[in-house]
Chains A and B, each alone.
Chain A
Amino acid sequence: MSAVMVDVHGVHKNFGPLQVLRGVDLTVRAGEVTVVLGPSGSGKSTLLRTINHLEKVDRGWISIDGELIGYRRSGNKLHELKEKDVLKQRTHIGFVFQNFNLFPHLTVLENLVEAPVSALRRPRRDAEETARRLLERVGLADKTGAYPRQLSGGQQQRVAIARALALEPKVLLFDEPTSALDPELVGEVLDVIKDLARTGTTMIVVTHEIGFAREVADTVVFMDGGVVVEQGPPSAVLDAPRHERTRAFLSKVL
């Protein structure tokens, strides 16, 4: 069995009086694909955002490849890291947003080159070479000079995936990557993610695409009310759910 890549331990998160995460535990092994399902408001997106420290946790901790995220441990105390160090940790964690969030004033190539050059101090030439290779991989080799708004939604999301890959992260997080897309564009984005799964990229995917979960996931996690209700291989969670809440959810989306 491969090593633990992502370890989420007893994570709590409140927004004011609202308890969004109420003690979440999750383990993802290197090379595995974990798909997180659940009704809206169940805390799936918040969980994903705590993993790369876009949201601070109120209790619990998260580590990636053995390194604590957002904190430094000494004895029994957790010291908050400075922003600079958090930014450095994030270069190991690729994040793909629901709304792509490409930089609209930069060309596709510049979008991919920006972080490797400024955050990892790679030489521009190397970064551009990597960028072109990645664009070829997501089928957009001819779009290097285009601006994001000149592309379709599906193309933009593929660029966003390539942008996240450009940092060669240890894990890729997807926050509902196909929810903002027209139905006929969903397939092209899922195909790119499936291709990544085949090549052994560690991924956590929050999605509503049950078919995708069944096909790609090593583990399916069902969340509701800020906790993990059940998890296991797709055959167990999707076809023989043990919990009433899982069954109720699946009966609505299938």
Chain B
Amino acid sequence: MSSDTITEPATTAAGDPAEPKVVPTRHYARWAAGAAVVVLVAQFVHGLATNPVWEWHVFRDYVFSETIVQAVWVTLQLTAYATVLGFLLGTVLAFMRLSRSPVLSTVAWTYIWIFRSIPMIVQLVFWFNLSALYRELGVGIPFGPVFWSVDSNTLIGTIGAAVIGLTLHQAAYAAEIVRGGVIAVDHGQLEAAAALGIPRLRQIRRIVLPQAMRAILPTAGNEIVGLLKGTSVVYVMSIGELFYQVQVIYGRNGRVIPLLLVATAWYVVLTSVLSVAQYYVERRYARGADRTPPPTPLQRARRFVTKEST
């Protein structure tokens, strides 16, 4: 009995040539690099904690202060408006550019050409100074009498000018992103939809766009994150968004570094939230693309902990 338990593993491990033992590759360099990274990170964190320049108490005082939280809210609003309006206009422009009508495609091409050519900051200053260019905006017969007009400053306002500027700029880029997604959809899909007699708009909304989303989303995510931080250029219009307020505060008290940290922290947090949202939106549009959808990070973590094999 006892001799059995000793000899049996010995035969399978060494004695049976048909079942050789697998020795996994040893990654010595990986371990060394890992150790080096740990040291570097430790140094950096140690510096953050001990170097007095960062002035963490100032950071603490300001990070949730009313002014800053309000400024974050303005940043979020500008981002949301410019994203939604920019992508709506961009989607329309994309389909205009793909349209068989030469008028529509030329108009869209020209729009994209112009608004990609003008730096956003220049465009914003133009909108900010719209009243200098056109004091009044009105409706009437072209080159003829005007029936109704309004002072351009009262119509638009500073925030309005910022939203218009960001939107028009964003739309040009969004148009190209959406167009890229649409032309990536298999041509057979449109043929099948046309052969079934599905109305044109419905073809776009129900068949083409959902499939185009797979290609649109990663780049669109990039654009939205870029826009979130890009809203900081509206500081030229003295709008109280995050970067502008931080500048105002350190202009007053001279604590430049901790206040820039405040802005950085908020931008990082907001970008992280957007990235997580992007992951789940992408997952939703991947329906039907794979036989079995990939696990969410949460499911993956749980599986890692419970050691289930994938």
Q: Quick check: B199 and A149 within 8 Å, CB to CB? A: no
Segment with Cβ contacts to B, from A4-12, A38-46, A101-109, A231-239: A101-109
Contacts of B207 in A (CB 8 A): 103, 114
Are A104 and B288 also in contact (CB < 8 A) when A97-B191, A99-B188 are? Answer: yes
In the bound complex, how far is the Cα of B198 from the Cα of A99, in angstroms? 19
Which residue of chain A is the closest to B200 with respect to CB atoms?
A83
Are A87 and B291 also in contact (CB < 8 A) when A101-B192, A104-B211, A105-B210 are? Answer: no
In the bound complex, how far is the Cα of B287 from the Cα of A181, in angstroms? 24
Q: In the complex, how many angstroms separate the beta carbon of B294 from the nearest chain A beta carbon?
A: 14
Q: In the complex, how many angstroms separate the beta carbon of A47 from the nearest chain B beta carbon?
A: 15
CB contacts under 8 Å to A, within B251-285, are 285
Are A106 and B288 also in contact (CB < 8 A) when A87-B194, A90-B195 are? Answer: yes
Q: Quick check: B196 and A167 within 8 Å, CB to CB? A: yes
Are A103 and B191 also in contact (CB < 8 A) when A87-B198, A114-B198 are? Answer: no
Is A77 engaged at the interface, CB distance under 8 Å to the other chain? Answer: no
Contacts of A120 in B (CB 8 A): 197
Q: Quick check: A91 and B197 within 8 Å, CB to CB? A: yes
Q: Quick check: A88 and B291 within 8 Å, CB to CB? A: no
Contacts of B189 in A (CB 8 A): 101, 103
Contacts of B197 in A (CB 8 A): 87-91, 115, 119-120, 167
Contacts of A153 in B (CB 8 A): none
Is B202 engaged at the interface, CB distance under 8 Å to the other chain? Answer: yes
In the bound complex, how far is the Cα of B186 from the Cα of A102, in angstroms? 11
In the bound complex, how far is the Cα of B74 from the Cα of A125, in angstroms? 46
Q: Quick check: A114 and B288 within 8 Å, CB to CB? A: no
Contacts of A52 in B (CB 8 A): 195
Which residue of chain A is the closest to B288 with respect to CB atoms?
A147
Contacts of B300 in A (CB 8 A): none
* Residue tally, chain A, CB below 8 Å to B: 32
Q: Quick check: B192 and A97 within 8 Å, CB to CB? A: yes
Q: Quick check: A119 and B198 within 8 Å, CB to CB? A: yes
CB contacts under 8 Å to A, within B161-212, are 186, 188-189, 191-200, 202, 206-207, 210-211
Q: In the complex, how many angstroms separate the beta carbon of B218 from the nearest chain A beta carbon?
A: 17
Contacts of B198 in A (CB 8 A): 87, 114-115, 118-119
Is B4 engaged at the interface, CB distance under 8 Å to the other chain? Answer: no
Interface size band for B = 20 to 34
In the bound complex, how far is the Cα of B285 from the Cα of A53, in angstroms? 32
Residue with the greatest number of chain B CB neighbours at <10 A, chosen from A91, A105, A115: A105
In the bound complex, how far is the Cα of B197 from the Cα of A120, in angstroms? 9
Interface of B is mostly: helix
Contacts of B288 in A (CB 8 A): 104-107, 147-149
Is A79 engaged at the interface, CB distance under 8 Å to the other chain? Answer: no
Which residue of chain A is the closest to B201 with respect to CB atoms?
A118
Q: Quick check: B199 and A84 within 8 Å, CB to CB? A: yes
Is A150 engaged at the interface, CB distance under 8 Å to the other chain? Answer: yes
Contacts of B186 in A (CB 8 A): 101
Q: In the complex, how many angstroms separate the beta carbon of A94 from the nearest chain B beta carbon?
A: 8
In the bound complex, how far is the Cα of B197 from the Cα of A1, in angstroms? 31
In the bound complex, how far is the Cα of B199 from the Cα of A65, in angstroms? 23
Is A61 engaged at the interface, CB distance under 8 Å to the other chain? Answer: no
Is B66 engaged at the interface, CB distance under 8 Å to the other chain? Answer: no
Is B290 engaged at the interface, CB distance under 8 Å to the other chain? Answer: yes
In the bound complex, how far is the Cα of B186 from the Cα of A97, in angstroms? 13
Q: In the complex, how many angstroms separate the beta carbon of A214 from the nearest chain B beta carbon?
A: 28
In the bound complex, how far is the Cα of B186 from the Cα of A99, in angstroms? 11
Q: In the complex, how many angstroms separate the beta carbon of B152 from the nearest chain A beta carbon?
A: 40
Q: Quick check: A101 and B291 within 8 Å, CB to CB? A: no
Q: In the complex, how many angstroms separate the beta carbon of A56 from the nearest chain B beta carbon?
A: 13
Is B40 engaged at the interface, CB distance under 8 Å to the other chain? Answer: no
In the bound complex, how far is the Cα of B64 from the Cα of A244, in angstroms? 89
Q: Which residues of B are at the interface with A, using a C-beta cutoff of 8 A?
A: 186, 188-189, 191-200, 202, 206-207, 210-211, 285, 287-291
Q: Which residues of A are at the interface with B, using a C-beta cutoff of 8 A?
A: 52, 54, 83-84, 87-91, 93, 95, 97, 99, 101-107, 114-115, 118-120, 147-150, 163-164, 167
Other than A93-B195, A103-B193, A105-B288, give 4 A-B pairs with Cβ distance below 8 A. Answer: A114-B206, A119-B199, A163-B196, A167-B196
Q: Name 30 A/B residue pairs within 8 A (Cβ), A-sorted.
A: A52-B195, A54-B194, A84-B199, A87-B194, A88-B197, A90-B194, A90-B195, A90-B196, A93-B195, A95-B192, A95-B196, A97-B192, A99-B188, A101-B186, A101-B191, A103-B192, A105-B287, A105-B289, A107-B288, A114-B196, A114-B198, A115-B198, A118-B198, A119-B197, A119-B198, A148-B288, A149-B289, A149-B290, A163-B196, A167-B197
